Amino acid sequence: MKKISLIAALVLILGSTTIAMAGQHGKSGECGLNPRALAAMNLTAEQTEKIRTLRQSHERDILPLRTQLFTKRAEMKLLWMQKDPDSEKIKAKQKELHEVKGQLQEKNTDFRFAVSKLLTPEQRSQFFSQKFGRHGGPPGPCGDKKFGQGPNYK
């Protein structure tokens, strides 16, 4: 049991450090935004700067939630690794995970709407018509499995 606790602590520390150092980006470099699509919208220098500022603020806002999500996932793995997994503890941890995911999704949605307010009507139309993932909506919280798959991801 001591060995599992030590391994869990190590995983949590390494994971938190990795998240903090890597930032919230997938491969595309923009949290929930496709940089190629933004570039194709012919943004003004002012729009680009405002979007960059919004993105930085958004990244600071979601870092604690992403860290919580990583930690709760590690805790969930530990619960499943127990000799006799406790169903109630696992279900409670799942609820915690869903709550954090929901908070991340809300913040990502707020961010996308804040960006859209900076765009002209034509740019906004382009912005919302982009394909972001297999479900036709924007990717989930930065770093989820479908984020950063590139423009040809279906």
pLDDT at 91 over 80: yes
Side-chain half-sphere exposure of 124, counting CA atoms within 13 A: 10
For residue 74, tell me if it sits in a domain: yes
Of the ranges 24-28, 40-44, 146-150, which is most confident?
Answer: 40-44
* Cα–Cα dist 83/52, whole Å: 48
The answer to the question of residue 73 being in a domain is yes
CA 28 to chain centre: 13
Residue 17 has pLDDT above 60, yes or no: no
Tell me if 85 is assigned to some domain. Answer: yes
Q: Which pLDDT score, from 0 to 100, does residue 133 have?
A: 37
To the nearest whole number, what is the mean pLDDT of the chain? 76
b/e 55-92 (16+ beta carbons within 10 angstroms → b): beebbeebeebbbbbbbbebbbebbeeeeeeeeeeeee
* In contact, 141 and 105? CB cutoff 8 Å: yes
Segments forming the whole domain that contains residue 92: 2-22+44-129
Backbone angles phi, psi at 121, to 5 degrees: -55, -40
CATH of residue 57: 1.20.120.1490
- Region 11-17 average pLDDT: 57
Q: 114 in a domain, yes or no?
A: yes
Residue 51 lies in a domain: yes
pLDDT in tens, 123-144: 888 887 775 433 444 444 444 4
DSSP symbol at 119: S
**Domain-embedded: residue 137:** no
3-state secondary structure of 73: helix
The highest-confidence range among 1-10, 17-26, 34-43, 106-115, by mean pLDDT, is 106-115
Residue 39 lies in a domain: no
pLDDT at residue number 3: 63
- Give the confidence band of 6 by pLDDT, cuts at 50, 70, 90: low
Instruction: Report the number of distinct structural domains present in the chain.
Output: 1
For residue 29, pLDDT over 60 is answered with no
Structure tokens at 35: 């940089």
Predicted TM-score (pTM) of this structure? 0.65
Q: Residues 97-114: pLDDT tens digits?
A: 999 999 999 999 999 999
Residue that wins the pLDDT comparison between 137 and 60: 60
For residue 20, how many other CB atoms are within 10 A of its CB? 11
**9 within a domain of the structure (yes/no):** yes
Integer Cα distance of 91 and 129 in angstroms: 37
Residue in the structure block whose two tokens are 């503890």: 89
